[in-house]
């Protein structure tokens, strides 16, 4: 069902690119209605425009809060052209048909992000605009709605190629876009108010979605919703895959925990290499030495600008992605020598307050695990207290194990993850595997420290760690058999601290 546009209502906040559109509407002989700043803008182009007040016989009132909220405006948009009763009533009340509605919304989200006052934020809750958009979208059989400046070019093309004639599928498409925008806008407003009240509902809206090559496996479809470019500049390489994104998320969350020059090497969201040193090059060499086998095909994250020396070391390894806050020009040129290697410059930290995932017939949400224990949180429960060096390593180990899948064990020496294991159904298995890995890669465990993501239900892990050479332990505590583990540590001459914080990760 084709319709020719004969009249248009235009009321927009953003005026950029509007001039070309308005000139084409005027050229096509389309009658233009407008109000306020948009009316002044159109008149400034030398184009005739009919003020909305001439239709409503009512001025803009309440400081501009009420301009278009009037039956003659909404009747012109909602009137059904194939409904005899509607047509008679429109004639009776002198309601003009409005075939095209071009309206955008006040910048509510931008105002919130700019930390404006509540009064300013509330004034940016659009009422008239969103009502006009919804009305036009509802009556897509007769009315075309343009709810974003991003669609000005599409409308311009329609006007130029089709002479202002649209079909039902085109109008329905723009209606769908309008409801997408209005629902997103309402979600932003609700989430702002819900900061104060904490209603137990899940409201999340992302306007951008990127189809990935595939999901976790080639037979699964994958889409990323969000704007990755707010966080990263992509400097080189192929498109990020589903698995790349999952690992990148794990990498940036881990590396954000460190202040010293640090490098993390990730595989399947777990660190296979992690070290802090005085320079980023030394940190990389130490991180790579943790597990030179698993590092192949991994993701590297750093918290310092990458120099040529570090890039030269890295370039001998095949890896999928590198993330850094910046790169020296010569380092970047070297890293770009592999055309598929993804190089990301991180512009800002990821500071999500909540994490969520779909399961069963709903969504599970929780606070992000932002707790990291340090010296002030440690409660020494053994006869021997940890030394200053051991406290530094225990703090490092807690960060490492916090970011491993449970059950997780981290073995650390001199701020280097020399052994780890994760995702085990038995904590004993996790420890034994961590010891085996450390031994395979030539590390001396004597003087190392151990961190566990959860308490020890039995003293077996303490005993096994002591036999391997571990001299200090950090664990949450909370088992009814904590005393057994403490006694085992005392017998072995180990220092043990309880943190009171569990770090399960599933």
Tokens 């030539």 map to which residue? 442
Burial 352-387 (b: 16+ CB within 10 A, else e): eeeeeeeeeeeeeeeeeeeeebeeebbeebbebebe
Give strand ranges (E) for 248-334: 262-267, 270-276, 298-302, 319-324
Distance CA 267, CA 250 (A): 10
Of the candidates 252, 190, 258, the one whose C-alpha atom is nearest the C-alpha of residue 412 is 258
CB atoms closer than 10 angstroms to residue 30: 18
Taking the CA atoms of residue 214, residue 256, residue 368 and residue 250 in that order, the dihedral angle to the nearest 10 degrees is 20
CB proximity list for 330: less than 8 A, separation 6 or greater: 308, 311
Tokens 């993330």 map to which residue? 323
Catalytic residue among 6, 15, 116, 138: 138
Residue 233, classed as helix, strand or coil, is: strand
Residue 87, classed as helix, strand or coil, is: helix
Joined together, the tokens standing for residue 258 give: 């460190």
Distance CA 268, CA 290 (A): 16
Q: What is the largest CA-CA distance in the chain?
A: 97
Catalytic residue among 268, 305, 371, 384: 268
SS3 content of the chain, % helix, strand, coil (to 5): 40, 20, 40
- CA distances to 21, 112, 162, 372, 435 from 486, rounded to whole Å, are 76, 51, 81, 22, 21
Distance CA 132, CA 34 (A): 13
Give the total residue count for the chain.
506
- CA distances to 6, 8, 69, 259, 496 from 89, rounded to whole Å, are 20, 20, 18, 71, 83
CB proximity list for 110: less than 8 A, separation 6 or greater: none
Q: Are 248 and 228 in contact (CB under 8 A)?
A: no
Q: Is 268 a catalytic residue?
A: yes
Joined together, the tokens standing for residue 124 give: 């940016």
Q: Is 184 a catalytic residue?
A: no
Distance CA 499, CA 398 (A): 10
Catalytic positions are: 138, 268
């Amino acid at each position: 069902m084709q319709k020719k546009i004969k009249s248009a209502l235009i009321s927009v906040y953003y005026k950029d690119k509007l001039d070309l559109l308005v000139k084409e509407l005027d050229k096509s002989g389309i009658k233009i209605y407008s109000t306020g700043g948009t009316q002044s803008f159109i008149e400034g182009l030398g184009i005739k425009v009919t003020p909305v007040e001439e239709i409503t016989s009512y001025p803009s009132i309440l400081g501009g809060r009420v301009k278009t909220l009037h039956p003659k405006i909404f009747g012109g948009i909602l009137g059904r052209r194939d409904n005899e009763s509607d047509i008679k009533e429109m004639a009776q009340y002198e309601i003009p048909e409005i075939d095209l509605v071009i309206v955008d919304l006040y910048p509510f989200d931008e105002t919130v992000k700019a930390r404006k006052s509540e009064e300013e934020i509330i004034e940016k809750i659009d009422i008239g605009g969103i009502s006009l958009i919804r009305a036009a979208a509802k009556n897509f059989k007769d009315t075309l709605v343009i709810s974003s400046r991003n669609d000005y070019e599409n409308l311009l093309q329609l006007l130029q190629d089709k002479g202002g004639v649209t079909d039902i599928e085109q109008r329905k498409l723009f209606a769908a876009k309008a409801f997408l925008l209005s629902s997103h806008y309402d979600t932003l407003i609700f989430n702002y108010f819900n900061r104060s009240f904490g209603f137990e509902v899940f409201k999340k809206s992302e306007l951008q979605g990127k189809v990935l090559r595939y999901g976790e496996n080639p037979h699964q479809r994958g889409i990323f919703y969000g704007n990755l470019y707010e966080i990263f500049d992509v400097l080189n390489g192929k498109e990020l895959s589903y698995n790349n994104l999952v690992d990148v998320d794990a990498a940036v969350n881990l590396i954000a925990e460190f202040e010293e020059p640090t490098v993390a090497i990730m595989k399947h969201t777990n660190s296979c290499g992690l070290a802090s040193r005085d320079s980023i090059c030394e940190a990389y060499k130490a991180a790579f030495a943790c597990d030179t086998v698993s590092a192949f095909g991994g993701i590297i994250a750093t918290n310092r600008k990458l120099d040529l020396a570090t890039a030269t070391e890295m370039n001998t390894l095949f890896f999928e992605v590198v993330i850094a806050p910046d790169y020296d020009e010569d380092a970047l040129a070297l890293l770009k020598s592999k055309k598929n290697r993804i190089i990301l410059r991180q512009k800002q930290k990821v500071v999500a307050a909540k994490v969520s995932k779909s399961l069963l017939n709903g969504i599970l949400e929780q606070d992000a695990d932002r707790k990291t224990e340090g010296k002030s949180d440690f409660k020494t429960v053994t006869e021997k207290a940890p030394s200053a060096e051991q406290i530094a390593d225990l703090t490092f180990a807690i960060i490492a194990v916090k970011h491993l899948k449970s059950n997780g064990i981290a073995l650390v020496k001199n701020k280097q993850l020399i052994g780890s294991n994760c995702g085990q159904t038995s904590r004993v298995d996790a420890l034994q595997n961590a010891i085996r890995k450390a031994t395979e890669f030539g590390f001396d465990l004597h003087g190392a420290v151990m961190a566990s993501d959860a308490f020890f239900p039995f003293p077996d892990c303490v005993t096994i760690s002591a036999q391997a050479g571990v001299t200090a332990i950090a664990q949450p505590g909370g088992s009814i058999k904590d005393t057994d583990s403490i006694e085992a540590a005392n017998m072995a001459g180990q220092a043990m601290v309880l943190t009171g914080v569990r770090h399960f990760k599933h």
